[in-house]
Amino acid sequence: MSSPIDLVLARLEPFRLRQAGRDRWRACCPAHGGSNPSALSVGVGAEDLVLLRCWHGCEVEQVAHALGLELSDLFPAKPPQFHTSGKPARRRLLSAGQALDLLDGEMTLAVVCASDMAAGRPLDESTRARLLQAAARVSMLKDEAHA
């Protein structure tokens, strides 16, 4: 998989792209369509994030869209975090309420397992695996809260 900057540079190729230094480029801005080959500054920021700056005032999103890209294409792919409601959770984007909901769900599972065991019913393989997953999720929640 290529990094975000490779993708952006490939798309900017027709816009008189030229290198302006280490990890820095200039090009015509694809969003407002001017012919000034210095209108758009391109750089690489922390964690390989692609930086786009149109000196004419176009929003980063407009520039990305003009290249057929989404804002998310400017960010390097991150390993998947744990999921809530089908959407990938971003760091620090989980509200305290969401975190507690998740914790509540995992606790309920643990309580059900505990009462099964107390009643003399051993946990089957998949329930045990699910319980381990619950522990891992709670641990990730903790990391998330401390991030």
Q: Which two tokens stand for residue 128?
A: 């045990």
Contact with Zn ion (CB under 5 A) among 29, 52, 69, 102: 29
* Site stretch for Zn ion (CB under 5 A), options 24-32, 72-80, 110-118, 126-134: 24-32
Identify residue 73 by its one-letter amino acid code: D
Task: Give the torsion sign (CA, 123, 84, 97, 141).
Answer: positive
Site membership for Zn ion, residue 58 (CB under 5 A) = yes
Q: Which residues contact 143 (CB under 8 A, 6 or more apart)?
A: none
CB neighbourhood size of 80 (10 A): 8
Identity of the residue, 31 or 42, whose beta carbon is nearer to Zn ion in the bound complex: 31
Q: Where are the beta strands (DSSP E) in 32-80?
A: 40-44, 50-54
Cβ at position 123, least distance to Zn ion in Å: 60
Contact with Zn ion (CB under 5 A) among 16, 32, 53, 130: 32
Identity of the residue, 29 or 134, whose beta carbon is nearer to Zn ion in the bound complex: 29
Q: Which helix (H) or strand (E) holds 25?
A: strand 24-27
3-state secondary structure of 136: helix
Binding mask 71-90 for Zn ion (x = CB under 5 A): --------------------
Contact with Zn ion (CB under 5 A) among 18, 56, 83, 121: 56
Contact with Zn ion (CB under 5 A) among 50, 54, 64, 134: 54
